[in-house]
A and B are shown apart, each in its own frame.
Chain A
Amino acid sequence: MKRLFVVALLLVLVALPAQSVSAQIVVNFWNNFSGGDGEFMSAMVQKFNETHPDIRVEVSGVTWDDYYNRLLTSIAGGIGPDVAIMHTTHVPAYANQGMLLPLDAELASRNIPVDDYVESAWTGLNYQGKQYGIPLDVHPWVMYYNKDILGELGLLNSAGEFEPPTSPEEFRALIDTIHAAGHYPLSVEYVGNSWRGWYAFLKQAGGDVFVGNEVTINSPEALETLTFWASIPLAYPELVIGYDESVAIFAQGDAALHFNGVWITGYFEQIDGLNFGVVPWPTLFDSPAGWANSHAFVVPVQRGGIDKAKMDAVLTFVNWMTENSYMWALAGHIPTRQSVLESPEFKALPYRPDYAAQAETVVYLPQHPNILEIETALNEEVQAVTAGVKTPEEALKTLEQIIGGLVR
Chain B
Amino acid sequence: MSAVRRKMSWGRVFGTLLMYLIGILWVLPVLWMVSTSLKPESMITQAVPRWIPEVFTLSNYQGVLERASLFKWLLNSVIVAVGATVGVLIIDSMAGYAFARVNFPGRDVLFMMVMATLMVPAQVTMIPLFFMLNEASLLNTHLALILPRLGVAIGVFMLRQFFLSLPQELEEAAAIDGASRYRVFAQLALPLAKPALSALAIVTFVWAWNDFMWPLIAISTQDMYTLPVGLSTLAGYYGREYGIQMAGAVIASLPVFLVFLVFQRQFIQGIALTGLKG
Binding site for B on A (CB under 8 A): 34, 60, 62-66, 69-71, 73-74, 76-79, 244
Additional pairs, 12, CB under 8 Å, beyond known A60-B221, A63-B233, A71-B220: A63-B237, A65-B236, A66-B232, A66-B236, A70-B220, A73-B217, A73-B218, A73-B220, A74-B140, A76-B130, A76-B134, A244-B239
Closest to B229 in A: A66
With an 8 A cutoff between CB atoms, is B222 at the interface? yes
Which secondary structure characterizes the binding site on chain B? helix
Q: How far is the CA of A73 from the CA of B237 in the complex (A)?
A: 20
Binding site for A on B (CB under 8 A): 130, 134, 137, 139-140, 216-222, 232-234, 236-237, 239-240
> How far, in Å, is B139 (CB) from chain A's closest CB?
4
- Determine if A77 and B236 form an interchain contact, defined as CB atoms under 8 angstroms apart: no
Q: How far is the CA of A78 from the CA of B137 in the complex (A)?
A: 9
In the assembled complex, which residues on chain A have CB atoms less than 8 Å from the CB atom of B134?
76-77
Q: Give the residue among A65, A73, A76 with the most B Cβ atoms within 10 A.
A: A73
Q: How far is the CA of A304 from the CA of B84 in the complex (A)?
A: 32
In the assembled complex, which residues on chain B have CB atoms less than 8 Å from the CB atom of A64?
236-237
Q: A62-B222, A244-B239 are in contact. Are A69 and B216 (CB under 8 A)?
A: yes
> How far, in Å, is B135 (CB) from chain A's closest CB?
10
Closest to A80 in B: B220
In the assembled complex, which residues on chain B have CB atoms less than 8 Å from the CB atom of A77?
134, 137, 139-140, 220
Closest to B131 in A: A76
In the assembled complex, which residues on chain B have CB atoms less than 8 Å from the CB atom of A244?
239-240
> How far, in Å, is B251 (CB) from chain A's closest CB?
18
In the assembled complex, which residues on chain B have CB atoms less than 8 Å from the CB atom of A74?
140, 220-221
Q: Give the residue among B218, B219, B239 with the most A Cβ atoms within 10 A.
A: B239
Q: How far is the CA of A330 from the CA of B222 in the complex (A)?
A: 28
Q: B220: which of A34, A63, A65, A79 is its contact (CB, 8 Å)? A: A79
Shortest 5 CB-CB distances between A and B: which pairs? A65-B236, A74-B220, A73-B220, A63-B237, A63-B236
Q: Give the residue among A63, A69, A244 with the most B Cβ atoms within 10 A.
A: A63
In the assembled complex, which residues on chain B have CB atoms less than 8 Å from the CB atom of A76?
130, 134, 139
> How far, in Å, is A193 (CB) from chain B's closest CB?
14
Closest to A248 in B: B240
- Determine if A66 and B139 form an interchain contact, defined as CB atoms under 8 angstroms apart: no
Q: How far is the CA of A73 from the CA of B221 in the complex (A)?
A: 9
Q: How far is the CA of A70 from the CA of B218 in the complex (A)?
A: 9
25 contacts between A and B (CB under 8 A): A34-B237, A63-B234, A64-B236, A64-B237, A65-B236, A66-B232, A66-B233, A70-B220, A70-B221, A71-B220, A73-B139, A73-B140, A73-B217, A73-B219, A74-B220, A74-B221, A76-B130, A77-B134, A77-B137, A77-B139, A77-B220, A78-B137, A79-B139, A79-B220, A244-B240
Q: How far is the CA of A79 from the CA of B221 in the complex (A)?
A: 10
In the assembled complex, which residues on chain A have CB atoms less than 8 Å from the CB atom of B234?
63
> How far, in Å, is A210 (CB) from chain B's closest CB?
29
Closest to A247 in B: B240
Closest to A76 in B: B134
